[in-house]
Amino acid sequence: MSAQITQTTSFIGGRHVPSLLTYANIDPATGGQLGDIARAGADEVDRAVQAAAKAQREWKRSSPEQRSRLLIATAAVITANRDDLARIESEDTGKPLTQAYADVDVCARYFEFYGHTIESYYGHAIPLAEDMHVYTRREPFGVTGHIVAWNYPLQLIGRAAATSLATGNCAVAKPADETPRSTVRLAELIHSVGFPAGAFNVVTGLGAEAGAALSAHPGVAHLGFVGSTQTGSAIARAAADRVVPTVLELGGKSANIVFPDADIEAAIPSLVRSIIQNAGQTCSAGSRLIVHRDIHAEVVEKMAAAMAQVTIGYGLEDPMLGPLISAKQHERVDGFLSEVGSGQIVTGGTRPDGLADDLAAGAFITPTIVDSVDPASRIAQEEVFGPVVVTLPFADDDEAVALANGTDYGLVSALWTQNISRAHRLAAEVDAGQIFVNTYGAGGGVELPFGGFKKSGYGREKSIEALDEYTQTKTVAIKL
């Protein structure tokens, strides 16, 4: 169905809604045009919110069994369309095809996980007194709004949609300007399995127009946002003006902390993956390498050697590293690399050699190590969002923790050590929402609560905890 649509349109109330205004969908690998995207605005957002509100009047009365059945059916239809979804995701984002397939699989897993979980999610009885019967109910908010980033479109909207629908809400999604196609296709699939028309709606367009209208709409009772801290602050202000709860997943400057007793040979592949995954355009990318002075030179040398073996190219050809999302993002990364200060670029930082002629205009950059940077420098403090890792040497555990906690962010960190006592002690001291030991990331981590400390945001997505974010507690007390 989607393949015949030259204009990627909004999907509202179970139907495609084209717009008179459009903008170009740019292929990040070639700089060419993939098609047109409907540039929806406030009118389409209002129509989508009304469609969701109408559907929610029916959906909130559905049983957990009904929700479970449709969520699991959605997982199955996502899997059945795996090839199509992965191709769209790879084309729009530029990511290698293997990574796009993984995103499709994780998206399906969200619907499967919450489809199974929702049947065992309920309130509690509270033993207040013998002549009182007190219990709590978990009730939906109503219409939830979701504005997500361009780096993992299917994963980000999949986890939001599955959680919202599982808990009896209905949703309106605004995908990123650059990557709307897979979200629109997902809306088609959700509708196809039997959800009420309007249960899940998608409004395509620009963040400053459609996104702003969604965040300010009085009919939206709950907001979720994934993206930059700056935009997240604006979303939070819009929500605060209407006293609406919000879940924010924002930036990160995550650290891999490598101690002298680490198994370096085992660590190197994971350290490299943590920064080249999705071309480093990941909020939880391992963008800071904090290494003990005794092994610093060895780790940097082996990291550089491993990065030199990374294959680069068009996402559908499945290299290890694809392009950045856009020429604009490429310029941003170049800007950081022009300000390394006392740091030294050990490897990378340039356009790759040997690319095919049709990729000459693509947003490619080689994986990069900037060694021994000033911890206070911009490149050590701010999110680059590219395959760029900076190294910071340390002398002892206290200095390692101070460096790890020395940014405004706190999303993910990893400890590489064979000392289990150190691992437990420092896991408690490092400020991050997830701490890994001798590994990095969790392959989607659907079952694991995910969210940040400090300016990495608040609220938790994934896991059973996300169900609490999308419901409100009602207490009922009855005098017997």
Contacts of 67 (CB under 8 A, 6+ apart): 115, 118, 165, 166, 168
Distance of CA 242 to the CA centre of its chain: 25
CB atoms within 10 A of CB 465: 14
- Secondary structure class of 448 (helix, strand, coil): coil
Nearest to 240 by CA among 249, 250, 248: 248
Q: Which two tokens stand for residue 132?
A: 């009182």
Cite the active site residues: 249
Q: Which two tokens stand for residue 316?
A: 């559908």
Q: How far apart are CA 320 and CA 128, in angstroms?
A: 59
Q: Which two tokens stand for residue 9?
A: 């349109």
Q: Which two tokens stand for residue 64?
A: 């957990």
CB atoms within 10 A of CB 73: 18
Q: How far apart are CA 91 and CA 239, in angstroms?
A: 33
CB atoms within 10 A of CB 377: 17
CB atoms within 10 A of CB 401: 21
Question: H helices of 94-126, where?
Answer: 97-117
Q: How far apart are CA 357 and CA 280, in angstroms?
A: 24
Torsion angle (degrees, nearest 10) of CA 36, 42, 43, 44: 50
* Cβ-contact 87, 124 below 8 angstroms: no
Bridge partners (DSSP) listed for residue 140: 471
Q: How far apart are CA 191 and CA 115, in angstroms?
A: 16
* Cβ-contact 433, 451 below 8 angstroms: yes
Phi-psi region at 185: left, alpha or beta (left = phi > 0; alpha = psi -120 to 50): alpha
Give the phi and the psi of residue 50 in degrees, each rounded to 5: -65, -40
Rounded to 10°, the helix 420-429/397-404 angle is 40
Rounded to 10°, the helix 181-192/82-93 angle is 160
Q: How far apart are CA 169 and CA 198, in angstroms?
A: 11
Supply the DSSP symbol for 350: S
User: Do strands 255-258 and 200-202 pair parallel, antiparallel, or not at all (unpaired)?
Assistant: unpaired
CB atoms within 10 A of CB 129: 11
